[in-house]
Amino acid sequence: MTAFQKPDYYQTVMPYLILSDLNAFLEFTREVFGAEEKMKHTDNDDNVAHLEITIGDSTIMAGGSSEEWGEQPAGLYVNVDSADDTYQKALNAGASSVMELSDQDYGRTCGVKDSNGNTWWITSPL
């Protein structure tokens, strides 16, 4: 048996979300944050069972919810070049606003919630 080789995009700690619609999650993260799909496993019914994406230098794993594994969305803080542009992309992709754009001492910031219930806290430099 060959030993597991950790992919180069893995970090020591990575969020693992359990969501009802992994395809919607993948499409949202691609459209809004330019996510790159790294791995996708499907079950016998061709439903996505496990997904790994990268956004910049960060990795997020996600699995499909079931009766055994209930949904576990997350709150995610994301640094971007332009909070204004990313906020608009998120709204265009179907997210709802949970915090309007504003200038804070740590940057230009806002918050959106995607269709899987994840809250994305989006921040860029002032």
pLDDT in tens, 69-112: 999 999 999 999 999 999 999 999 999 999 999 999 999 999 99
Domains of the chain: 16-124 (3.10.180.10)
pLDDT in tens, 43-54: 888 888 999 999
Q: Give Cβ neighbours of residue 69 (< 8 Å, ≥ 6 apart).
A: 18, 63
pTM for this model (two decimals): 0.92
Q: In 10 A of CB 111, how many CB atoms?
A: 20
